Amino acid sequence: MEKARLRLFVGLGNPVPAYGRTRHNVGSVTLDRFTSTKGLRFERSLSSSSEVAKDFLGRIFMKPLTYMNCSGYPVVTLLRFHKILPEEALIVLDDCTIPLGKLRIRKGGGSGGHNGLASILHCLSTEAIPRLRIGIGRATTGTRLAEYVLGTFSKKEKLAVDRAVARACDAIEMLGTSGIETAMNQFN
């Protein structure tokens, strides 16, 4: 059986500049770094409430311009417009249940409590969408989850996250060229 080729890469984050460097925006930051290394530029897509870049292979890179918890609508709109199946898309996102700086690639599954991913899964009516989770670590005792994910990284954390974002860019490259199984074996 032929493996699905990834055609859409989605970096989750909040579009407001004040949230640009928060833990919750690590998916969007990763996609920014990946596309900049490829010389790609994002342009606004009015039809899908997102910013979109395309490479010479026809792959689409997308950052929703909605708040994180409403990411489903722009993703589904773009999938339908380009006739892309959910298993041909990759969601890049933060995960507070994974240790800081670690990566986890999965073919599908639940949202794990991530509201942006939950919105996408709800709008698609399926959990069969690949994802690349980037660990942001757990909140300290007494810190509310929303406060934690919308907070910025300490200097020490930033070093680990910068390395994780670089590895995530390598994972995106491998996911796009060699497939999910190969990338899972390399990066999980």
Q: What is the pLDDT of residues 135-147, one digit of tens each?
A: 999 887 788 888 9
Q: Calculate what percentage of the chain has a pLDDT beyond 90.
A: 83
φ, ψ for residue 116 (rounded to 5)? -65, -45
State the CATH number of the domain containing residue 53. Answer: 3.40.50.1470
Mean pLDDT of 17-26: 92
pLDDT at 61 over 70: yes
C-alpha distances in Å from residue 62, one per residue of 24, 107, 137, 151, 156: 16, 19, 25, 23, 29
Mean pLDDT computed over 75-87: 95
- What pLDDT is attached to residue 3? 60
Domain contains 79: yes
Domain membership flag for residue 1: no
pLDDT, mean over the chain: 93
Q: What is the pLDDT of residues 155-165, one digit of tens each?
A: 999 999 999 99
Residue 24 falls in the annotated catalytic set: yes
pLDDT of residue 128: 95
pLDDT in tens, 95-129: 999 999 999 999 999 999 999 999 999 999 999 99
- Residue 2 in this model has a pLDDT that exceeds 70: no
Neighbours of 51 (CB within 10 A): 22
The mean pLDDT of 56-82, rounded to a whole number, is 95
pLDDT of residue 47: 77
Please tell me the predicted confidence (pLDDT) of residue 1: 38
Tell me, yes or no, whether 180 lies in a domain.
yes
Residue 43's pLDDT is what? 95
Q: Is 175 contained in some domain?
A: yes
Q: Is residue 3 part of a domain?
A: no
Query: 2 in a domain, yes or no?
Result: no
pLDDT at 46 exceeding the cut of 80? no
The stretch 80-90 carries a mean pLDDT of: 96
Which domain range does residue 41 map to? 8-187
> How many domains is the chain partitioned into structurally?
1
Q: Which residue is catalytic, options 24, 82, 114, 122?
A: 24
Amino acid at 186: Q
Determine the average pLDDT of the residues in 20-46: 95
Residues 6+ apart with CB under 8 A from 85: 4, 79
